[in-house]
Structure 1
């Protein structure tokens, strides 16, 4: 099926997606720095506790993944969560209310948002892009976010001295760019050992295109991925813990080296997770790429309550994943709006959000972008500008400028 509008406009949109093509290298800043590489399933399989112990019949899982999953988008309005496994939109495009793709609830799954007074409320199509104060989220700051979270009740499993395992039935969808790219997770499973360490996994699916032919829209085969690596979770009623991200290195996914500028939020989601997103085109949103949205990428806290009827108290989520004092990443190349070519079928928001930096993704949905100007361009532009000003000054002294002669 052809998707002409997106095929024409994606090159312009790609430049503002906050991704950066870079070698998959993670370097420590000094001898005391530690790079954390989390082993995948084949090296450290999830722990399954033995039968017996405390049976769990109605556990609750609550998670917003990261701040970017509720942040403003450079096209399509915002990124958001939806209950259920979204159907086929037919192509890479912004969802509409009439599509029926968005759902605030689906079975035991629901989407909630924080309120201005510190509580929680049900999300809806009309409020999915609003922050707790009711203002539309923007890309101007990583502090602007809806804070939406997926909540799944009905988890069943067991808990003993050896660990725990809880399985939930249901799906949720993560939509970026108003639905231009989206994927789903079905039936998440939490497995922890006796020390409260383990993994949250799930079956991922979605839709992707080809770098070579953006008119293609193809379903992605379902695959089990690690959603979150968890360490030291503990609590009688449940727990809230921030999954591993900071200091985690990924390979083959475009992660940039750690620097003093990005150290406060440098890291990655689990390797199998970012590998899956090579197919969706979202890979650069789940690790550090030196893009303008890096501070919104670190994993948000995940909360598990062993009884959904008596859940663990959950404070409203923080907007960004980095401390307020963290320095912004460097994006030195800035281009004027004029460089965005007119695209007949592109959404109007493309022109309104002209690229501020070339930030391509290594592979997937977004084609590569040129990250440098030729070495002689800037000196020649500077020399040409100086010469032009000198000519104008001489003509002005001789009273030969057109408006001077006319007067």
Structure 2
């Protein structure tokens, strides 16, 4: 173990430098008042018969500047103000006319003219003065009528010189006092009406500080409250697309978040009164099929919607009240159906004040990010899917009626449930709320449900990249009607082929699709997923045949387009990959198998060919008679590789009886051509039933050569999380036995570790999946092993606190060691075995501490001693306690690095001392500063030690520090770190 102490020393300060002030005199200074400017006016150009003249007009008035220049060929007028002079577009005539704005006040106008000789002339500058115009009313607010509790809106348009200020006023009874409305200070006054507002009048007072204010004519508000009656609703429709999270398409028709009619996971286009549709780019609705459910209808967007029809209930067109129920369900399949949830029997409720909600029964399946392949049912329950306000109902039948409802999201907070108790801490962090102006959440009960499905924060702002796609889409409700869904051709099956990619060049390739109903068909091809698509000549049937397939088709996409009188449907695309014929070949043959008895043994390899190998005909065989006969290895399971990985066989629990056998892999392609790998040996090491390490090869290692080892581990049952923030993992590395061996606190001071680990660490999840076993490679670097030292591969537990990523190594339950002998060991020979026995320490402990709150040592200011500058100080006390029964020897040493500023650490020395007796402590030998000779404390030196068999107890060590630096040392403060190390 090691600790560090900081040392600081101040060198003597030099004599301060005297500052010399300098004065500079600006060349050409006249001493005149800098605020006075003299401008020499240019003489008027005599070629102009008439110059432009100054003008004064009111704001909004018409202005004309003119010149007379005989023989002019070209004119360009210029406007000049404080920002500079710019040409005026389309001003190429002797005069320039425009409508003045108050912002033109003070600007000057001039014209540049080219004469017959192409010489340029510039006119005088003519100043424009624009006088402001008092505010007036261009258009007053108009009478309006609204339902009670719905939003009323009045607007006024002002004329005159802006900017304008506004103050809206209200008159309650049409003839009483006008009162200012607090906060109503813009050109529009919008507010939620109440029955008491009926007959009230509203007007706006407008001012611009250029004359008296002006007041608009009043407008009367009529508020309709009560009246009407609840009338039956029999054929209402509800259309909804959830949100943008569920609109990402996939041209390959896979892995999209798709909708399905009904509560089942499998896709259905229609079930009962529920149908799944796609909205095309022109807004029309199209039916879809399982083959086209993930094909974008616009760029990368699915534009999919769930359409409920035949809704029933009641509605009052006068008050806006309504209750409508629909029967049926749709399922939203997240992650291509890995997580599903549904809404069943939705009910829309709208109150007289325009507020309301959409409720439904929701259920589905739950999954987690840690184990996405495992799902469990989420019990159905009633939820509020959307809440809203200020809805204005229109029960007119058809597309001109109904209502578009915008669900609430922005500003809605969410507090999650923890073990059934509502948290007081928002799921949306404060810093996210400050950074995202439109942060928000779906309704509480719906988000509670989604936390159980595992989709959790997809339904409220989280500060991550998906936030813009989370707000809900509008709900569309029509009365006594439903959207017209075009009956475009239905693609029942996307293009496919019975062959296996890559397709063999030089052979015919047939690709088929399945189209329902009468339609005109056309196959198309493209060299890119993004298009452009071109027609394949003559390919107008459901089957596309490519004769004598050539490499020009490689990586091309093909699709089929079906067209009828209602529109067109486009299939998904099939990518055509080609390659020449090749027999099956082991591009990476299997290697010798090493495993510990009872662990999972894996045989990786890679076999390729075209046509490809038949995965059902790849077999692992074994021979118990050195290759005389072969049989299938019972229990060996083959698995197809993921992208970039190898194929492999896995033996779940390899028996000890497999030790010494031979094995091989047999592969057959889809056409029946067979290939067999070279045989490889199998070694199965006996299990100890405890944490164990096996190092192969088990021969002595040459310290002067680089050696590659294979390390097998078994029996490492790494504990689960010690707490929600403390996680275990396993560390494996090559150690000097003086640095670490079983029984000692773990350390990262290894000589080498494996690239198959994460900086020596094998994570808890990996160890769990492997059943506590591992196989890793480890390279022993040349020149790192010292003859006479003992080495071995060691393993021990690491505990990580994920709140601060601090590691501790105090758990000794999985300590393991496998010795690595050296060829230089005097007793090493091919006929010897190394037997390692570990005897744990008995009761007692060895500890040493420095005061954690004060580890900084400040030296005295350096004093000139003639030949050197000297600074002194005292090391902070080091407390040593040793109560171990065996009382082994111990020592504490120190070593200093170089000081900051490039000052060598060799100038530091010390005189160790025992401050209080105990634990057998003896002071180390003094070390002189290296001012003349020696390395000072840059070479490790003993602070204190004890011999074996010393008395138990506690002692304290210290040292007088002595720093001697050259007299030429620059003044300043220098700091170094002294590292203390304990060995026992």
Alignment TM class, shorter chain as reference: 0.5 to 0.7
1:53 equivalent among 188, 209, 230: 230
Give the equivalent residue in structure 2 for 1:13: none
Deviations 1:317-365 (A, max 9, x none): xxxxxxxxxxxxxxxxxxxxxxxxxxx789759xxxxxxxxxxxxxxxx
RMSD over aligned Cα, in angstroms? 3.6
Correspondence list, 1:149-160, <5 A: 149-160=305-316
Alpha-carbon distance, 1:131 to partner: 2.4
Give the equivalent residue in structure 1 for 2:348: 190
Question: Is 1:226 aligned to residue 387 of structure 2?
Answer: no
2:403 equivalent among 210, 221, 239: 239
Higher helix proportion, which one? 1
The SS at the match of 1:285 is helix
Give the equivalent residue in structure 1 for 2:477: 304
Alpha-carbon distance, 1:216 to partner: 4.6
Indicate if the aligned counterparts of 2:257 and 2:333 stay in contact, CA closer than 8 A.
Answer: yes
For residues 72 and 113 of structure 1, what CA distance do their matches in structure 2 show? 11
For residues 277 and 347 of structure 1, what CA distance do their matches in structure 2 show? 31
2:437 equivalent among 241, 263, 266: 263
Question: Is 1:108 aligned to residue 264 of structure 2?
Answer: no
Alpha-carbon distance, 1:233 to partner: 1.5
Question: Is 1:124 aligned to residue 289 of structure 2?
Answer: yes
Give the equivalent residue in structure 2 for 1:324: none
Indicate if the aligned counterparts of 1:70 and 1:81 stay in contact, CA closer than 8 A.
Answer: no
For residues 802 and 332 of structure 2, what CA distance do their matches in structure 1 show? 29
Deviations 1:11-63 (A, max 9, x none): xxxxxxxxxxxxxxxxxxxxxxxxxxxxxxxxxxxxxxxx9621001110011
Indicate if the aligned counterparts of 2:309 and 2:326 stay in contact, CA closer than 8 A.
Answer: yes
Deviations 1:228-261 (A, max 9, x none): 0021121323100210011111111733334454
Cα–Cα, structure 1 residues 346 and 157, in superposed 2: closer, same or farther, change >3 Å?
farther
Correspondence list, 1:144-183, <5 A: 145-160=301-316, 161=319, 163-183=321-341
Cα–Cα, structure 1 residues 280 and 346, in superposed 2: closer, same or farther, change >3 Å?
farther
Q: Which has the higher contact order (CA 8 A, sep 6+)?
A: 1
Indicate if the aligned counterparts of 2:320 and 2:354 stay in contact, CA closer than 8 A.
Answer: no
- Is there any run of 5+ residues in structure 1 with no aligned partner, and where? 1-50, 88-100, 138-144, 312-343, 350-366, 376-407
Correspondence list, 1:219-368, <5 A: 219-236=377-394, 237-252=401-416, 254-257=427-430, 258-259=432-433, 261-264=435-438, 266-309=439-482
Deviations 1:356-384 (A, max 9, x none): xxxxxxxxxxx9xx999959xxxxxxxxx
Indicate if the aligned counterparts of 2:249 and 2:296 stay in contact, CA closer than 8 A.
Answer: no
Correspondence list, 1:62-77, <5 A: 62-71=239-248, 77=255
For residues 643 and 343 of structure 2, what CA distance do their matches in structure 1 show? 31
For residues 175 and 248 of structure 1, what CA distance do their matches in structure 2 show? 25
Cα–Cα, structure 1 residues 273 and 242, in superposed 2: closer, same or farther, change >3 Å?
same
Give the equivalent residue in structure 2 for 1:379: none
Q: Return the TM-score normalized by structure 2.
A: 0.24
Alpha-carbon distance, 1:210 to partner: 6.3
Alpha-carbon distance, 1:162 to partner: 6.9
The SS at the match of 2:447 is helix
Alpha-carbon distance, 1:213 to partner: 6.7
For residues 642 and 458 of structure 2, what CA distance do their matches in structure 1 show? 22
Alpha-carbon distance, 1:146 to partner: 1.3
The SS at the match of 1:291 is coil
For residues 190 and 373 of structure 1, what CA distance do their matches in structure 2 show? 49
The SS at the match of 1:290 is coil
Indicate if the aligned counterparts of 1:76 and 1:177 stay in contact, CA closer than 8 A.
Answer: no
Indicate if the aligned counterparts of 1:65 and 1:300 stay in contact, CA closer than 8 A.
Answer: yes
Give the equivalent residue in structure 2 for 1:97: none
For residues 405 and 369 of structure 2, what CA distance do their matches in structure 1 show? 37
Cα–Cα, structure 1 residues 124 and 66, in superposed 2: closer, same or farther, change >3 Å?
same
Cα–Cα, structure 1 residues 210 and 77, in superposed 2: closer, same or farther, change >3 Å?
closer
Q: Return the TM-score normalized by structure 1.
A: 0.56
For residues 304 and 196 of structure 1, what CA distance do their matches in structure 2 show? 15
Alpha-carbon distance, 1:267 to partner: 0.8
Give the equivalent residue in structure 2 for 1:22: none
Indicate if the aligned counterparts of 2:368 and 2:454 stay in contact, CA closer than 8 A.
Answer: no
Cα–Cα, structure 1 residues 268 and 276, in superposed 2: closer, same or farther, change >3 Å?
same
Cα–Cα, structure 1 residues 191 and 129, in superposed 2: closer, same or farther, change >3 Å?
same
Higher strand proportion, which one? 2
Indicate if the aligned counterparts of 1:71 and 1:79 stay in contact, CA closer than 8 A.
Answer: yes
For residues 463 and 362 of structure 2, what CA distance do their matches in structure 1 show? 26
The SS at the match of 1:263 is coil
Cα–Cα, structure 1 residues 244 and 153, in superposed 2: closer, same or farther, change >3 Å?
same
Cα–Cα, structure 1 residues 70 and 180, in superposed 2: closer, same or farther, change >3 Å?
same
2:261 equivalent among 67, 83, 87: 83
For residues 234 and 346 of structure 1, what CA distance do their matches in structure 2 show? 58
The structure with more radius of gyration:
2
1:200 equivalent among 342, 358, 369: 358
Cα–Cα, structure 1 residues 72 and 250, in superposed 2: closer, same or farther, change >3 Å?
farther
- Is there any run of 5+ residues in structure 2 with no aligned partner, and where? 1-227, 395-400, 418-426, 485-638, 645-764, 766-800, 807-984
The SS at the match of 1:126 is coil
Indicate if the aligned counterparts of 1:162 and 1:194 stay in contact, CA closer than 8 A.
Answer: yes
Alpha-carbon distance, 1:77 to partner: 2.1
Alpha-carbon distance, 1:112 to partner: 1.3
Alpha-carbon distance, 1:85 to partner: 0.8
For residues 329 and 337 of structure 2, what CA distance do their matches in structure 1 show? 16
Size of the aligned set, in residue pairs, is 255
Indicate if the aligned counterparts of 2:320 and 2:392 stay in contact, CA closer than 8 A.
Answer: no
Indicate if the aligned counterparts of 2:249 and 2:295 stay in contact, CA closer than 8 A.
Answer: no
For residues 76 and 281 of structure 1, what CA distance do their matches in structure 2 show? 21
